[in-house]
Amino acid sequence: MMGSVLEDKIDRHSFHDHHDADDTPLASSSSKVLQQLHSFDFEDTSVVDLRSSSIFNTTRISRSIYVVLIKAKINLLLPFGPLAILLHYLTGHHGWVFFFTLLGITPLAERLGYATEQLAFYTGPTVGGLLNATFGNATEMIISIYALESNMIRVVQQSLLGSILSNMLLVLGCAFFTGGIVHYKKVQVFDKAAAVVNSGLLLMAVMGILFPAVLYFTHSEVHQGKSVLSLSRFSSCIMLLAYASYLFFQLRSQQNVYSPVDEEGDNGENSDEEEEHELTQWEAIIWLAILTAWVSILSGYLVDAIQGASESLNMSVAFISVILLPIVGNAAEHASAIMFAVKDKLDITIGVAIGSSTQISMFVIPFCVVVGWCMGKEMDLNFQLFETATLFITVLVVAFMMQEGTSNYFKGLMLILCYLIVAASFFVHVDPKSGDD
């Protein structure tokens, strides 16, 4: 502003002096002053731009670190990861290393889901669905790949089975129970069509897991010891194809399925938008890479400590794999499902809990079979009779609970109690063949 005022005064002065033939030096001096003013303004703004951009970058980085690593209360558990690594090299006590590694991975799993949601906001629904399928259960996939490398096939099978059981019974049960208590004066409803499609996919996954087990235990293989593995690999490819078709069906052909999710009130829409726009696209990508690398490091120590933790804690490997490990991977789903149920958004709750179970059964388990095939490991879909029967009954119970399209706190309580029965069953269950691990 001051520069423009000075220019006006000088222009007026030079205009008046232009009529005097004797005052041409004054006009030339005024033009020099104008040139100095312009050069001064240009240099000043460039310095300000450089300083402001550097300050903006610093504040942006610090804000990104605050949002990802400090803001959430669950990040108080982050120091347990480095502590577990120190205990591994200093003491070698597998029980404490396993326990602290579990605590250290829990916030990483939750933050991994958060970064995936942030990135999916910029990529659109189609790529976002693929990202959710890949990174939403990244913790389970990383732990499973490390266990496959160590030839712990039963740990892979039981941990993935435990993730399905935990999502369907514990996560969904807590969401129904909490939402039913908060909204006890009305009946909470959700879209039955999406629930029926997910239930059908879960029953298809049960079919893919049931047939290899039946084929093995009835001794009806054409090629003894090879038919189950061949059937498992073929069924895994079919299940992956079915899940890809499901993604296309849900994201392209049936976009109206998500309409209840998008229809928010005017008051809550702005706040949700503000909560979603916390990271830029490149920040989300960088944080995904950092968190995935850190989860991979801790997963190696976790898998190494499972057998020693089973002996020191006097717990079976089956109980650790089915009950304790899935609690880590389902931390994000558990918190978000309950939060949406409290907000009376049961469509999102069903998508989080049952959708995650569908991802594990139709994507992660077949993916691990294919990865084991590439690694030369005999990973198959024969989950033994006890685990297969547990999964089959669980899918039937949950499908029966969701057939009406309504929920209340009593249904949630029943699902939680069913999970306690499952946990007690695996606490007293031991694999008949101890050499499989």
What is the DSSP code string of 15-36?
Answer: HHHHT-GGGHHHHHHHHHHHHH
Burial zone of 46 (CB within 10 Å; 0-12 exposed, 13-18 middle, 19+ buried): exposed
CA atoms within 13 A on the CB side of 16: 5
Q: Is the pLDDT of residue 265 over 50?
A: no
Cα–Cα distance list, 93 to 25, 191, 305, 429 (Å) = 91, 49, 9, 25
In 166-226, which ranges are continuous DSSP H helix? Answer: 172-182, 192-217
Q: Give the mean pLDDT of 248-254.
A: 71
The tokens of 171 are what? 């996560």
Q: Is the pLDDT of residue 7 over 70?
A: no
Cα 100 off chain centre by:
21
The band of 55, judged by pLDDT with boundaries at 50, 70 and 90, is: low
Residues 280-311 pLDDT 10s: 888 888 988 898 889 888 888 888 888 888 88
Specify the higher pLDDT residue, 98 or 49. 98
**How many of the other CB atoms lie within 10 Å of CB of 12?**
10
Q: Which residues pair with 406 in a beta bridge?
A: 189
**31-45, 67-81, 167-181, 311-325: which range is least confident on average?**
31-45
Predicted pLDDT at 9: 45
Predicted pLDDT at 124: 65
Predicted pLDDT at 49: 52
Predicted pLDDT at 126: 56
Sign of CA dihedral 118, 123, 124, 127: negative
Predicted pLDDT at 338: 85
Specify the higher pLDDT residue, 129 or 285. 285
Q: Give the mean pLDDT of 198-220.
A: 91
SS3 (DSSP) at 406: strand
Predicted pLDDT at 413: 95
Taking a C-beta distance cutoff of 8 angstroms, is the pair 339, 149 a contact? no
The band of 24, judged by pLDDT with boundaries at 50, 70 and 90, is: very low
Predicted pLDDT at 246: 87
Predicted pLDDT at 421: 96
User: Of 411, 427, 429, which is closest to residue 169 (Cα–Cα)?
Assistant: 411
**pLDDT averaged over every residue in the chain:** 79
Specify the higher pLDDT residue, 359 or 4. 359
Predicted pLDDT at 140: 82
Angle (CA) 229 235 237, round 5°? 110
In sequence order, what DSSP letters do the residues of 333-402 get, joined into one string? HHHHHHHHHHTT-HHHHHHHHHHHHHHIIIIIHHHHHHHHHHHT----S--HHHHHHHHHHHHHHHHHHH
What pTM did the predictor assign?
Answer: 0.76
Angle (CA) 54 57 59, round 5°? 110
Predicted pLDDT at 393: 95
Residues 382-396 pLDDT 10s: 998 999 999 999 999
Cα–Cα distance list, 322 to 30, 34, 231 (Å) = 85, 79, 24
Predicted pLDDT at 225: 74
Predicted pLDDT at 125: 56
Predicted pLDDT at 414: 95
The band of 253, judged by pLDDT with boundaries at 50, 70 and 90, is: low
Taking a C-beta distance cutoff of 8 angstroms, is the pair 228, 382 a contact? yes
